[in-house]
Every structure is written in structure tokens, then in C-alpha cells.
Amino acid sequence: MVALVFSILALLVLTGGVFYYAKRRPVGTPVSWGEAMVGATYVYFISFLAYGIVPHQWLTLAENELGWRASRMVYGPGNILQPRSLGGNFPFDVTYRTVSDSIAAVFYIVFLGGQIGLWLFWQNRGKRAASKGKQVVKSTYGRPLIKQG
């Protein structure tokens, strides 16, 4: 449990570093070879944490500490998920390993969405700065004045 929590916290802290650096770095500044290598290594390490370590730690926790093995069946409340092979009405077997693998798949889907979001944040950081520079003239009542013409 400690390893999973620590790896998630490390992932969040390193991802927060991307936001911090994106606000400090001016758009259009040339990148040196060394900066590109450090950035590539940093992004690779974040990807390694997100797609390698965090799901592995979850699967290790589920298998060892929680005991979610393939031999344990999930029956649900009132045995609603009891499979036909054991006398129930559910059409297929649901094991705890299936549930833990599904949760790991959700990790991958969420991390992929977060990665795409980070790409969009990085690529659009100049557009946000440009839009902040445009000030709309407001009346004394706080409404924007629009030139009629």
C-alpha cells in the first residue's frame, strides 16, 4: 500500500513540475540540446511512473495484500454475479483478478487522458498568455463596451 501511494504521489509531484515549468518558460524560446535531453528524460520518467510503476504497484497490492486471486469469485450483493457454472444466472465467471485487472486498465485510460491533457496544456500555453493581454474596455458599470460599426 505504501509503494502504491508513494508512486502516485511522486507522479502527481512530477506532473505538477510540468505546470510550474510551463508558466515560467516563455513561448518561442529556443531550446538547447541539453535542455531537450533533460526534458525528454523528465517526460520519459513521468511516463514510466504512469504506465509502468503505478499499475504494477496496484496489481501487486491487489494480488498480495488484498488477496484478489483468480481462485476467488465475485458474487456481488445477494449472489447476483454467481455464474451459471456454480448454479447462478450470470453468464460468465467474474474473479477478483478480473476486477483488479479492470482497475489497472482504468489507470491506463486515465493516464492516457491526462497525458493528452498535458500535451494540450503545453501547446496552448502561448495562446492563454496572448488572450490575457487583450483587455476589453468596460463601462463604469462593469459591462464590456463593444464598438458598433
12-67: pLDDT as tens digits: 999 999 999 988 888 888 999 999 999 999 999 999 999 999 999 999 999 999 99
CB 100 within 8 A of CB 63: yes
Residue 31 lies in a domain: yes
Residue 68 lies in a domain: yes
Q: For position 20, what pLDDT does the model report?
A: 93
Residue 149 lies in a domain: no
Residue 120 lies in a domain: yes
Residue 138 lies in a domain: no
> Above 90 in pLDDT, residue 100?
yes
Residue 70 lies in a domain: yes
**Other residues' Cβ atoms within 10 Å of the Cβ of residue 57:** 20
Binned at pLDDT 50, 70 and 90, residue 80 comes out as confident
Query: What does pTM read for this prediction?
Result: 0.77
Residue 63 lies in a domain: yes
> Above 90 in pLDDT, residue 116?
yes
How many domains are there within the chain? 1
Phi, psi angles (nearest 5°) of residue 144: -70, 140
Residue 139 lies in a domain: no
DSSP state of 91: S
> Above 70 in pLDDT, residue 79?
yes
> Above 80 in pLDDT, residue 115?
yes
With both helix axes pointing from N to C terminus, report the angle between 125-133 and 96-123 in degrees, rounded to the nearest 10: 50
Q: Which domain holds residue 81?
A: 2-133
